[in-house]
Amino acid sequence: MRGDRLSSAQSTPPFTTALIGVIALLFVILIWRFVSGESAPDLATAPVSLRMTDESSSVLLISESKKEKTIQANTPLANLDLIEIRGGTAKIAFLNNDKNSLKLNTGTKIRYLGQGTDNKTQFRLENKDIWAQADTGDFSLDLLGVVVLPSSGSVFNIAKNELFTTISVLQGTVTVSAENKTLEIVAGQQLNYSTLRTVTFDDLSSRITPINPETLITPWMSLNGASTYTTAAQDTATTSTTTGTSVGGGLIAFESPIDESKIDTKTITVSGKTLSPAVARLIISNLPATLDPVKQTFILKNLPLTNYENNLIYRSYDAAGSLLSKGFITVYTTTISAAAATAPVSNTATTTAPTSGKAQVNTYKLDQRFRVVAPAADYYETTEKKVRIE
């Protein structure tokens, strides 16, 4: 009896034995993963790698499992690695073609998404700047809702922040995809749209403009030699989005009224789009327009029309108050006689009677056949009581 009790106590059911085995196996696997760590990609076989471009470069690499690692040397990238440039600059190199490259600025955040079903190497830009050179065009850049597909031989820059995203093409062509539709941006053009809202394909197609010259002289663009591509950009940028005399065109697009249109009222509402995030202030016929930086629009209500022919002169400024662009559009109002428009141009000036201590001003009718050459400066100050304009 005693022997039977011992035999019964020592026997273990098969199910319990199997369960203990499974637990032991899982425990061994956990210990092995803890000791060996995550499998790192091999520099010789990884499709892309991250390279430091100067001694001051400092980069934080965050893996898919949220593991952080500070790197300061050539490092292969694994799928879903997030790169954050803390200081200096860096470069993403491609194993299959070293002529393909992505240069990253201080503050840039970009995630490597791996190889897509179309065999393109995929990335997602989350913040700041990318200078891209596409020798073969076999990679893509996701901008959250908008995908950039470079062509072979293209050079372009993408600048992204919490307000705006700007794609500037310096060489070749770049295809932009949204809502399963595509549009093409050629050398000398740029696309600027709001980062704050979901954009539609129609939004994108209406916002392609000549490259703003101010874009080409930023420190980042100068560092990458953007000036060597300015010839093509300037050739394309000669066409302004507004008709009429324009300096620094491509920053303002009037939607209402249209240039050379006729109005049957004595006051109008002027509206349109700002095509660059640099525009912080807009003055139309000496009146400030209201800007909406999110929608990238402007509006000026109740602008008076005092003549049959009215030249609406505009000036745009940046946040520091520097002049960015100027020009005009012409509108006609049928509520005022057209006789003044058909009358010959007179050399007689309308003289404003001088008041004590103030200069006498001679005002001439604005005529497109004449160009002011003196004073040469847009803003001119003098202590004289009379000014000669040539």
Confirm whether 22 is domain-assigned.
no
Confirm whether 17 is domain-assigned.
no
Least confident of 173-177, 178-182, 294-298: 294-298
Q: What is the mean pLDDT of the chain?
A: 79
DSSP state of 57: -
pLDDT at 160 over 50: yes
Span 122-146, average pLDDT: 93
Least confident of 6-15, 284-293, 304-313, 332-341: 6-15
CB 99 within 8 A of CB 123: no
Task: Note the pLDDT of residue 370.
Answer: 62
Task: Note the pLDDT of residue 232.
Answer: 44
Summarize pLDDT for 239-256 with one digit per residue, the tens. Answer: 333 434 444 445 788 888
Q: DSSP string spanning 116-162?
A: -TTS-EEEEEEEEEEEEEESS--EEEE-SS-EEEEPTTEEEEEEE-S
State what percent of residues in the chain have pLDDT above 90: 33
pLDDT at 340 over 60: no
- Band (pLDDT 50/70/90 cuts) for residue 21 is low
Task: Note the pLDDT of residue 379.
Answer: 55
Confirm whether 35 is domain-assigned.
no
Q: Are residues 260 and 324 in the same domain?
A: yes
Q: Are residues 266 and 229 in the same domain?
A: no
Span 139-167, average pLDDT: 93
Confirm whether 365 is domain-assigned.
no
Q: Are residues 136 and 232 in the same domain?
A: yes
Confirm whether 214 is domain-assigned.
yes
- Mean pLDDT is highest, among 25-34, 325-334, 368-377, for 325-334
Task: Note the pLDDT of residue 382.
Answer: 75
Q: Are residues 265 and 313 in the same domain?
A: yes
Q: Spell out the long-range contacts of 260-264 with Cβ–Cβ below 8 A and sequence spacing 24 or more.
A: 260/329, 260/330, 260/331, 260/332, 261/331, 261/332, 262/331, 262/332, 262/333, 262/334, 263/305, 263/331, 263/332, 263/333, 263/334, 264/333, 264/334, 264/335
For residue 328, give its domain range: 246-348
Q: Please tell me the total count of domains within the chain.
A: 2
Q: Are residues 80 and 208 in the same domain?
A: yes
User: Residue 118, class by beta-carbon neighbours within 10 Å (0-12 exposed, 13-18 middle, 19+ buried)?
Assistant: exposed
Predicted structure pTM score: 0.56
pLDDT at 381 over 50: yes
Q: Which of 177, 209, 237 is the last residue of a domain?
A: 237
Contacts of 345 (CB under 8 A, 6+ apart): 365, 367, 369
pLDDT at 147 over 60: yes
3-state DSSP call for residue 314?
A: strand
Confirm whether 4 is domain-assigned.
no
Task: Note the pLDDT of residue 242.
Answer: 41
pLDDT at 142 over 90: yes
Q: Are residues 233 and 341 in the same domain?
A: no
CATH value at residue 78: 2.60.120.1440
Confirm whether 99 is domain-assigned.
yes
Q: Are residues 229 and 274 in the same domain?
A: no
Task: Note the pLDDT of residue 295.
Answer: 83
Q: Are residues 75 and 181 in the same domain?
A: yes
Confirm whether 319 is domain-assigned.
yes
- Band (pLDDT 50/70/90 cuts) for residue 210 is confident
CATH value at residue 343: 2.60.40.10
pLDDT at 217 over 90: no
